[in-house]
Structure 1
Amino acid sequence: MESHVSHRERLWLYILVGLVLFFLVAPAIIVIPVSFSSTMAMSFPPSGWSLRWYESFFQQEKWIGALWVSLRVAFGTMILTTIVGVAASYALNQGRFGLRNLIRTTLVAPLAVPAILIAVGVFFIYAALGSMLNTIWGLILGHSVVAMPFVILTMTAGFNSYDASQEMVARSLGANRLKAFLTVTLPQLKFSVATSMLLSFLISFDELIISLMVSSGPMSTLPRVTFATLRDDVDPTLAAASSLMLIVTSLPPLILHLLSMRAARKEGRDAG
C-alpha cells in the first residue's frame, strides 16, 4: 500500500523547483521591461516607459536586414533538415542494412562536437569551395549541420511508436511506397514532424557561432549583429532585439504545445 505524501510535506520540493525555474527564466524575462525603458542606458527597473527602442530597431537597416536574413535562413534550414531528416529516419527505421547504426551515429554526432569546431570546419570547407561564404545557402547548410541531430532524434522516436502495419496494408492494396508514406504514415507522425520543424527553425534562428564564422556585412544574422553590438557599443536597442528574439523562440513552442494538448483531449473524447 502506497503512503500518501501531503502537499505540506512536499513544500520544500515545490520551493526548490520554483527557485530553479526562477533562476533559469529570470534573466530572459528581465530583458522585456528593460526594452521599454525611456532612458539612454539599459537599467532595471526602468525609470520611465517608452517604445523608442522598438522604433529604433525597426528604423535601422542593420537590425531589419539581420532579422530578414535570420528568418530566411531559419525557414530554409527548417525545410531542408525536415525533408532530409524525415527521409533519413524513415530509411533507418525501415531498412535492414549493416551500416544503419553507423549512419545514425554520424547524423547525430554534431551533438557531441563543440560548436566552435563545427564552425571552423564549415569555414575551411567554404573557403576551399570559394563561393559559399557570405551566402544564404552557406548559412542554411551550416545551420543544418547542428539542427539535423534534433530532427533525427525526434523522428526516430516518432517512427518507433507509429503503427507500421497500416502502411503495409496500404501497399498491399496497390499504393506505392511513396503514396503509402504520404497518405498513411506521415499523418500519424504529424506532431513529430511539427516538432522537428520547430526545433530546426529555433536552432537556426538562435545560432551564433557558425554565423560568426561564415557571414558578415549584409549577410549577418540577428544573433551576429546582436553580439557585435554588445561587444562594440551597448545600445538599448539590444534589449528590444533580445525581446523580439525571445518572442520568436518562445511563442511557437507554446502554440504547438497547446495544439498537441487540444488534439490529445479530442482523441480522448472520441475514444470515450
Structure 2
Amino acid sequence: MINGNYLKYFYWTVKENSSKKAGQICHKTQSAISQAIKSLEISLDTNLLIRYNNYFELTEEGKDLYVFAQKYIDDFEILQKKLHAPKIKKPQLKIGISQNYEEKVSKFINLFLKKSISYELSIESWDGDIIRKKFSEGNYDIIFGIHFEAEDRIPTSSFEHNSLFLFDDKIGLCADKNHHEFKNKNCYLENLLEYPMILSKHTKKAIQTQIKNNSIKLNAIALTNNPKTIANLMKDTDYISLLSECSIPLEHKNNIKYFNEKSLSANFPIVMSYRTEPHFGCNKGRQDFLNFTKNNLSLFNIF
C-alpha cells in the first residue's frame, strides 16, 4: 500500500524539481523528503528517480507514478473542499404530537421523510394540553391530537379552517386481560363501576359529559395523562380505565382487553392543526406535509 504522505512528497519534489522546495511546501525538512521518497521506492521495489549531483531524472516508473500522484493530489483537494464546504441548512419543520398518538403519528411522519429530504424535522411529544398551548404560542408549525372546543373541552367535529380531520379515536372501558369480570358472561355495567377506575385527565370531562344522562358515577381514584402509567397500574389488578387503543403502549397491547360496554365509550376526533400565516415558521414544509397528509389519509386506518 502506498503511503499517501510519501506520494505527496514525491509529487511536489518532481513538480518543483527540488526536494528543498517540496519540503517548504509540505512543511518538512529536505532530508525528511528525501528519506520518504527512498522509502517509497523500497515499498514499490523500483527506482523512481535517477539521481545526479545537482539534479535528478524520472525513470519510466517514476513518470507513471507522477501522473498517478497528480490525480491523487487533485482528488484529495476536491474531497477536502467538499468536506469543509459550508453545509446548506435545511429549513426546520416543527411538529408537536399529543403523547397518546406518538406511535401512530410517528409511523406516518417516517413515510413523509422517505418522500421528502428537503426539511429537518423537530418533533416533540407532550401532554395534549401542553402541545396545544405551545402551538398557540407559536412554537410549532403542525400539531397532532384530539380536537376540543376551546372552553368546555368537549371533543367536536366542528373544525377550524386550519385543522384537518385524520381519524376517530375510539375510547372504551378496559382492564387487564385477567380481570375477574372478563370471566363473567353476565357482565353488567353496575358491576364494572364497583371497581376503582383510573382516568386520563384530558378525557375525564368528555367521558363524564357523555354518560351524564345515564346517571353513571365514575369511581375515579387516580388521574394521569400518561397511558403507560395507566397500563402499568392496571396490570394484574382489578383497576379499570377508559383508554383509546391508540394510546396503549405497544408493550401493553396484549395485556389489555376492552369490555363491550357502549354506554362507556366515545369517539374522539383526531386532527392535524397547522399554522396558516405565510411568513410563520416553515411555510413551504407545512404545505408539502399538508398535501402529503391529504393524499394519504387512509394510512391512519392501517397503522
| TM-score calculated relative to the size of structure 2 | 0.24
| TM-score calculated relative to the size of structure 1 | 0.26
> Which has more radius of gyration?
2
Structure with bigger strand share is 2
Structure with bigger helix share is 1
